Structure formats: structure tokens, C-alpha cells
Amino acid sequence: MNQVRIIGGVWRRRLLHFPDGETLRPTPDRVRETVFNWLGQDLTGQSCLDLFAGSGALGFEAASRGAARVVLVDVAEKAIQSLRKNVNALEASGKVEVIAMNALEYPPFHQTTGQERFDVAFLDPPYRQGWLSRLEPWLAGLLKPDAALYVESESPLAALGCWKTTRQGRAGQVYFHLLRQEPLV
């Protein structure tokens, strides 16, 4: 098992364990620190979605920083098992929900009314598989109009539909971005 440390909030210094796997790329500490500086250190009361959760580092980091609800979605069975073990180890079952599902099958993508909308979404999909373009049409229904969208990708990203990059960085081969929806005029 691999591990990553939560860097801020009430679970600071706690370890998350996750399985080996070529597709699991936990967001590095330095990048998570930057992202949560961009988002603000205190996410009290916010709802967050980590759509390709993997190790869960971003979602658990958000929960540690006060998010009221965090939904971790992943399709890999080993990742799901380790996410559930981490939820139990952190005693976070009332705050963090783990859903075993393909990202495009996640319920809000197919509901027309009464769907949950999130304040923050983290997207770190497998590279070179077209996930971002497939998800883009669903983002407006998934996120609140003033939501923040964090995206990791293999190349720089200026926009994703009506979501425009407001902050960006690079760590090795990974580009990371904070996007916000442009207000309607």
C-alpha cells in the first residue's frame, strides 16, 4: 500500500492509504497546498465532489478543511476499498461518501430535477481518454453557478466550456487549473 499525508485542517498529518496502480496519481503535497490556497483554507459548509477520487487526497483534504459533504466517486474496486477504509479510519462516514461508479454514470448527470449541486469539484481523470470533453456538457448542472472547478490534465487548459481558467500551475508533467464559470451577461 502507498500513502499520502493530509496537509491541512483537522486531519492534518493523518495518513491515507491507497493501493498500487499505474492510474493512481495522488495530487502531490505542494500542488494540494497551492489548490487550497486558491480555494481558501476554510471550506466550512461547502459540498465537494471528487469525481475521479483515486487515493481521495483532494476530497479528504476538503473534508479536513471543513467541507460539510464530500462525495468520492471512482470505478476501480481497489481504490473504492481503500477509500472506504480511510473513511472508517478517519471516522468520516457522516461527512464523506464513497460511490463506486463510472464518472458519466454518477446520478446527477442523469437527473433532471432535484439534483445535488456542488460548491467545489475536483477532476483528475485518466489522461488521453477524452474525459474532460465528455464531462463538460454536464458541469453546469452538476455545479452551482459560483462553484470552483479544479482540473488536472496532461496539457494546459484555457477553458472547459463556459468554465474559464483563473489560476494555473505545473508540477512535472501535470498541469493543474482552477476554473470559474463566466457570469452570463
Residue-level pLDDT at 56: 92
Cα separation, 89 vs 145, in Å, equals 34
User: Which band of pLDDT confidence, cut at 50, 70 and 90, is reported for residue 155?
Assistant: very high
User: Rg of the Cα trace of the chain?
Assistant: 15
16-59 pLDDT tens trace: 988 776 566 778 789 999 999 999 889 999 999 999 999 999 99
Q: Give the architecture (CATH level 2) of 2-181.
A: 3-Layer(aba) Sandwich (3.40)
Q: Is the pLDDT of residue 156 over 90?
A: yes
Dump pLDDT digits (tens) for 67-95. Answer: 999 999 999 999 999 999 999 999 999 99
Residue 130 has pLDDT above 90, yes or no: no
From 27-31, 149-153, 160-164, the region with the lowest mean pLDDT:
27-31
Nearest to 165 by CA among 142, 134, 132, 138: 132
